[in-house]
Amino acid sequence: MKNYARNGLFAVALAMALAHGAMNMNASDADLAALKLVASRRPLVIGHRGYCQVAPENTLPSFKLAMSAGADLVELDYHHTKDGKLIVIHDGELDRTTDATNRWQEKKIKVETKTAAEIQSLDAGSWFDAKYAGTKIPLLEEALDAIQAGGVTLIERKGGDPGACIKLLRDKGLINKLIVQSFDWQYLRAFHEQEPEQVLGVLGPAARLVDGTKPSGIPKALSARWLDELRKTGAKVAVWNQEVTKESVHLAHDRGLKVWVYTINDLETANKLLDMGVDGLITNNTPLIRKAIALRSEKPA
């Protein structure tokens, strides 16, 4: 079945599901942005850590630039701080993207050993460019306020249990207005059990399987074996590295899953993946991938 036909069927099925669900919905539930994006018939462009080629990753300037550049979703990473706050940073250590090493005269400073106030006192911009001196690491809540004002977030959990993230999303009325993903499939399963409505993405290959074990001996490319395992999480999107094929994308679609691929920063690879029928590309260069997709669309009559 051709991509557009398959995606069309998915969209119809989703519309029926939404209509069915609407009977039990509040008016405020009508804008289920995540479901709409997952059902999209065109490939999505996802800004990796914002627009991190032109601004320090995982900061508010990076997120705002990704949105201005037309990203359908803005990806970010979060960890837990010493005092239990959710804070937006990729690495488990503060060294690479802040001035923590200079400030505290230590190396390999773990995020979980510092409070949110301590971490937010750091400069997370100068390492990238003097222009961004003084840029702070945002709390997840602050990042969501900035992105969800006009966009949709793709949250990646790097550490901690799902409870605090679920509470934050519920408190802010953001369930299903964004998407949550992780390489930890046990985290995703636990998230799904506690908040079944939330759309999840499964990052692969897995760091940890649904049963808590580390995968061993499974070739890393996307395959029927991975797909059958990842469906146990309850997720709707397989978010994989470039080890996908036309066949594995087809197998995912047959199982009702979308396929997004990370991290794609050149036109040749983007086109190769789009030819395979992938549904989204995660990129450090949102305008470039938007261009790749636009050039493939049909010419106006």
Q: Which of 95, 93, 52 is nearest to 76 (CA)?
A: 52
DSSP secondary structure letters along 163-190: HHHHHHHHHTT-TTSSEEEESBHHHHHH
Which of ligand G3P, Ca ion, none does residue 282 bind to, with CB < 5 to 8 Å depending on kind?
A: ligand G3P
Least distance from ligand G3P to the Cβ atom of residue 52, Å: 9
8 vs 285, beta carbon nearer ligand G3P = 285
Q: Does 195 bind ligand G3P (CB under 6 A)?
A: no
Which of ligand G3P, Ca ion, none does residue 10 bind to, with CB < 5 to 8 Å depending on kind?
A: none
In eight-state DSSP terms, residue 139 is: B
Residues pairing with 46 in the sheet = 73, 282
First to last CA, the chain: 26
In eight-state DSSP terms, residue 27 is: G
Tokens of 189: 């399963």
| Residue type at 240 in one-letter notation | W
297 CB neighbour count, 10 Å cutoff: 8
- CA 75/CA 67 separation, integer angstroms: 11
- CA 187/CA 208 separation, integer angstroms: 9
Of the candidate residues 57, 72, 123, 156, the single one contacting Ca ion (CB under 5 A): 156
Q: Does 79 bind ligand G3P (CB under 6 A)?
A: no
Of the candidate residues 56, 67, 69, 75, the single one contacting ligand G3P (CB under 6 A): 75
Q: Which H or E run contains 79?
A: strand 73-80
Q: Which of residues 68-97 bind Ca ion (CB under 5 A)?
A: 77
Least distance from ligand G3P to the Cβ atom of residue 262, Å: 4
29 vs 112, beta carbon nearer ligand G3P = 112
- Are the C-beta atoms of residues 94 and 136 closer than 8 Å to each other? no
Alpha-carbon Rg for the chain in angstroms: 19
Q: Does 229 bind Ca ion (CB under 5 A)?
A: no
Which of Ca ion, ligand G3P, none does residue 262 bind to, with CB < 5 to 8 Å depending on kind?
A: ligand G3P
Of the candidate residues 72, 93, 123, 156, the single one contacting ligand G3P (CB under 6 A): 156
Q: Does 258 bind ligand G3P (CB under 6 A)?
A: no
Least distance from Ca ion to the Cβ atom of residue 65, Å: 17
239 vs 289, beta carbon nearer ligand G3P = 239
Q: Does 93 bind ligand G3P (CB under 6 A)?
A: no
Q: Does 184 bind ligand G3P (CB under 6 A)?
A: no
Of the candidate residues 32, 56, 262, 264, the single one contacting ligand G3P (CB under 6 A): 262
Of the candidate residues 48, 79, 80, 157, the single one contacting ligand G3P (CB under 6 A): 48
- CA 223/CA 131 separation, integer angstroms: 44
48 vs 236, beta carbon nearer ligand G3P = 48
Q: What is the size of the binding site for Ca ion (CB under 5 A)?
A: 2
Maximum CA pair distance of the chain? 63
Angle between helices 286-296 and 267-276 (to 10 degrees): 50
Q: Does 177 bind ligand G3P (CB under 6 A)?
A: no
Residues pairing with 47 in the sheet = 74, 283
Q: Does 195 bind Ca ion (CB under 5 A)?
A: no
Binding site for Ca ion (CB under 5 A): 77, 156
Binding site for ligand G3P (CB under 6 A): 48, 75, 77, 90, 156, 203, 239, 262-263, 282
